[in-house]
Amino acid sequence: MGTPPKLTGAPPSSARGPAAGAPGAELLEGAITVLGLPEPEMVAALSSWPRERALDLFTAIAQLRAFDERAVILQRQGRIGTYPTFYGEEAVQVASVRALQNQDWLFPTYRQTAVATLRGCPPLVPLLMWRGHPGGWHDVMKYRVAPICVPVATNFPHAVGAAWGAKLRHQELVALAYGGDGSTSAGDFHEACNLAAVMGAPVIFLITNNQWAISTPVSRQTKVRRVAEKAAGYGMPGVRVDAFDVFACYQVVQEAAERARRGEGPTLIEAIGYRLGPHGTADEPSLYRDQIADRLWEPMEPVRRTRLALVAAGLASEEELNQILAEAAAELRDIGDAVESCSPASIQEIAGSVHRETPWELLPEGLWEPTWTGRGDAGGAP
Amino acid sequence: MTLELNMVEAITRGLSQLLEEDPAALLLGEDIGANGGVFRATAGLQDRFGPERVIDTPLCEAGFVGAAIGMCLVGLHPVVEIQFDAFVYPAFEQLVSQAGRFRWRTGGAYGLPLVVRLPYGGGTRAPELHSDSPETLFSHVPGLRVVVPSDPRSAGELLLAASRCGDPVIFLEPKRMYRRGRQAVPPTFVEGDLDHAVVVRPGDDLTVIAYGAMLEVAEGAAERLAQEGVSTRVLDLRSIYPLDRESLLQAAEETGRVLVVHEAPRHCGIGAEVAALLQEEVADALLSPTLRVTGMDLPFPLSQNEDDALPSVERVLAAAHAMLEY
């Protein structure tokens, strides 16, 4: 990731939309938005939000941002390994957690590495995972957040099974699975959507269309212009929403969850965004995309955009929002020390975590090394 | 009171017992409801337990195996039926990248009580991709248990144990044995022993290790060897992963000659693993090299040639003679 190039034009004065000429900006046309409305309408729409909830959403965005920034720093310092930043996706991620209830299940990928922290999981846990420490995996039952899924789309069937299984058990819960535009090209996406729709599973497929899968643009993923249109092929509703808008995303996830709880089955949500950062710390976007054009999406960056809106709507002052941001950053300032001071697990402990009863193959007897010095009677095998 | 059941009936009965005794158990698969499954292993179960516990799925092995993983998270104990051995390949990623890793990925905290039933193996004159023996593939995947019953009773007992062991189990059913013969089984199965191989025929001169449908071949060879005055132990392996190390070492130490029979391709097969284990640990006890009588490193042949690839009594005898004459 090189130094971001300077904007060539005037700095954006509005947070309604990306700057003129931003690549793929037309995808936002017709998407549900609050922050993309003309200011008087936006202010009117926000006036129905309780100040507390609005501040909670902003605080959660600030926490995710602080996590992401800290993680990138730790990677640069060599204290964690390669790290997939989610810079710019904080709004949709916060909305997805906050619009659901704590009994609902989340099935993240590596791009949603910190969503469990919004349910109380210590930030140290995902950071340890990126350090390659097994303490980075957590007990999924504690937060009802599955471990992050590395092969994209393979988490979709899990969410379907959890939601459908809960329905069979008459438990009222919803499952939400995350994916990107690239994941919708994978077979598991198709099988999961189809199965969910046929079974009426209370599941939400939340696809953040950030228009890039590493270097592959969305135009090379699919011939449909709108990913949400894929929902029609499964007989479920597809909804399009502004991914940089925490309020719109909250509303859309909440509606999908309500539908699911009413027994009306799955929903496909396409949250339209743009990948503001690289794919991860090892990625070099200048090889494959125009970074000047990319910067035209910066006005949508969720911290700035949400802050401008909250201030414009009179829900908070700039000072108190800055205070929230400062506190979130301060919270994680020294976490690198905690990450580093965690002593490594022993390979025996790891071997003991694979099965309920550890088979001999993973015990010292199965890993034995020869100790004899001669043959047969001369030395004797152990 | 005992019942006389063939293997597929014993599996039906085992599944039925599982559904009766465990309210969290449920069955998933293609055509397993009204149709009772392509082999009728679930015949009558949907009528008895309802369509919410014996569930017909769309045609999507990755989808429903993946969904079964998610079901485990909400407290269910799914038993998935794959119609034929090779139809599991679309679900391979879910089993390798997900099911096998789940307990490890939660630091040992949460295992998946998932059983994947897989009718497997050749000898039924079926079309392509209906006769594979993929046990090696799964036994190479950390976190999965791989189990193969060999007769009606072990099928029922091991099935119960598989669903209750707390880890994902690939349960390979030798389909050629489904209707081979009846065996007396108790009206209620007890939970089988997943950890131990079983000596099905005692012997001192040679051990033949087999599992699934190859047990019949091994026993046929042992019978012929007995007529020649050779005392052959036959060991039913049952668990492909983990292996019953003690029984294998004991067989080598007590009989000095070990022959492994399986219908899966030879390369990196279970026979190779057994032979490696024996030479590492009890080389001095071996009176002959450990030989393997196996399937070939071929796509399983179409029906006219399948007997050329499958281990037979004659091939086992030839290997045994070579070992005895070593």
Contact residues for B271 (Cβ-Cβ < 8 A; gap 6+): B260, B261, B262, B290, B292, B294
Distance from C-alpha of B227 to C-alpha of A68, rounded to nearest angstrom? 75
Contact B283 A195 (CB under 8 A): no
Q: Which residues pair with B54 in a beta bridge?
A: B27
Closest Cβ opposite residue B68 in set A161, A354, A365: A161
What is the helix (H) or strand (E) element at residue B62, kind and residue range?
helix B61-73
Our CA-based measurement puts residue A206 at a distance from the nearest CA of chain B, in whole angstroms, of 17
pTM of the model: 0.95
Segment B134-148 mean pLDDT:
97
The pLDDT, as a whole number, for residue A372 is 61
The pLDDT, as a whole number, for residue A264 is 97
What is the DSSP code (8-state) at residue A149? B
Structure confidence by residue, pLDDT tens digits, A311-328: 999 999 999 999 999 999
| pLDDT band (50, 70, 90) for residue A371 | low
Our CA-based measurement puts residue B183 at a distance from the nearest CA of chain A, in whole angstroms, of 31
Q: Which residues of A touch B164 (CB under 8 A)?
A: none
Distance from C-alpha of B171 to C-alpha of B35, rounded to nearest angstrom? 21
Q: What are the structure tokens assigned to B238, written together?
A: 């049952």
CB neighbour burial string for A204-228, b if at least 16 within 10 angstroms, e if fewer? bbbbbbbbbbeeeebeebbeeebbb
CATH class label, B3-185: alpha beta
Q: What are the structure tokens assigned to A114, written together?
A: 């910190």
The pLDDT, as a whole number, for residue A381 is 47
DSSP states along A328-382? HHHHTTTHHHHHHHSPPPPHHHHHTTSSSS--GGGSGGGG------SSGGGT---
| pLDDT band (50, 70, 90) for residue A291 | confident
Q: Is the predicted pLDDT of residue B216 greater than 80, yes or no?
A: yes
Residues of chain B with CATH 3.40.50.970: 3-185
Whether the CB-CB separation of A267 and A237 falls below 8 Å is answered with yes
Segment A339-349 mean pLDDT:
93
| pLDDT band (50, 70, 90) for residue A93 | very high
Minimum CA–CA partner of A161 in chain B: B67
Segment A117-133 mean pLDDT:
95
Contact residues for A191 (Cβ-Cβ < 8 A; gap 6+): A156, A157, B58, B60, B62, B63, B66
Q: What are the structure tokens assigned to A357, written together?
A: 């009863």
Q: How many residues does chain B have?
A: 326
Just list the catalytic residues of B: 130
Contact B98 A154 (CB under 8 A): yes
The pLDDT, as a whole number, for residue A293 is 86
Whether the CB-CB separation of B179 and B88 falls below 8 Å is answered with no
The pLDDT, as a whole number, for residue A139 is 75
Contact B74 A187 (CB under 8 A): no
Q: Which of 170-229 (B) contact A at CB < 8 A?
A: none
The pLDDT, as a whole number, for residue A7 is 44
The pLDDT, as a whole number, for residue A136 is 85
Whether the CB-CB separation of A278 and A245 falls below 8 Å is answered with no
Contact B97 A154 (CB under 8 A): yes
Closest Cβ opposite residue A354 in set B70, B97, B142: B142
Structure confidence by residue, pLDDT tens digits, A235-252: 999 999 999 999 999 999
CA distances from B71 to A161, A168, A234, A262, B117 (A): 5, 10, 21, 20, 16
Give the number of other CB atoms < 10 A from CB of residue A303.
Answer: 21
Closest Cβ opposite residue B62 in set A146, A147, A187: A187
Minimum CA–CA partner of B140 in chain A: A361
Contact A105 B94 (CB under 8 A): no
Q: Is the predicted pLDDT of residue B206 greater than 70, yes or no?
A: yes
Q: Which residues of B touch A365 (CB under 8 A)?
A: 245
Q: Is the predicted pLDDT of residue A2 greater than 60, yes or no?
A: no
Q: Is the predicted pLDDT of residue A6 greater than 90, yes or no?
A: no
Window from A72-76, A292-296, A338-342, B227-231 with minimum mean pLDDT: A292-296
Q: What is the largest CA-CA distance in chain A?
A: 93
Tell me, yes or no, if B243 comes closer than 8 A to chain A by beta carbon.
yes
Q: Hey, is B41 helix, strand or coil?
A: coil
Respond yes or no: is residue A138 known to be catalytic.
no
Which residue from B80, B63, B32 is spatially nearest to A234, judged by alpha carbons?
B63
Segment A351-372 mean pLDDT:
83
Distance from C-alpha of A132 to C-alpha of A234, rounded to nearest angstrom? 39
Q: Which residues of A touch B67 (CB under 8 A)?
A: 157-158, 160-161, 164-165, 192, 195
Which residue from A90, A106, A273, A274 is spatially nearest to A175, judged by alpha carbons?
A106
Tell me, yes or no, if B64 comes closer than 8 A to chain A by beta carbon.
yes
CA distances from A8 to A88, A245, A297 (A): 21, 25, 13
CA distances from A336 to A80, A121, A282, A341, B25 (A): 9, 17, 20, 8, 45
Q: What are the structure tokens assigned to A109, written together?
A: 């990928």
Distance from C-alpha of A161 to C-alpha of A199, rounded to nearest angstrom? 10
If you average pLDDT over every residue of chain B, what do you get? 97
The pLDDT, as a whole number, for residue A369 is 66
| pLDDT band (50, 70, 90) for residue A375 | low
Say if domain B198-324 classifies as CATH 3.30.70.120: no
| pLDDT band (50, 70, 90) for residue A9 | very low
Q: Is the predicted pLDDT of residue B11 greater than 50, yes or no?
A: yes
Specify the residue for token string 């953040």.
Answer: A208
Whether the CB-CB separation of B132 and B296 falls below 8 Å is answered with no
The pLDDT, as a whole number, for residue A296 is 95
Specify the residue for token string 């030879």.
Answer: B266
The domains found in chain A, sorted by start residue, are 25-345 (3.40.50.970), 346-382 (no CATH)
Q: Which of 110-139 (B) contact A at CB < 8 A?
A: 110-111
* Residue A23: half-sphere exposure toward Cβ, Cα within 13 Å: 16
Contact residues for B45 (Cβ-Cβ < 8 A; gap 6+): B12, B15, B16, B19, B27, B32, B36, B54
Distance from C-alpha of B54 to C-alpha of B76, rounded to nearest angstrom? 13
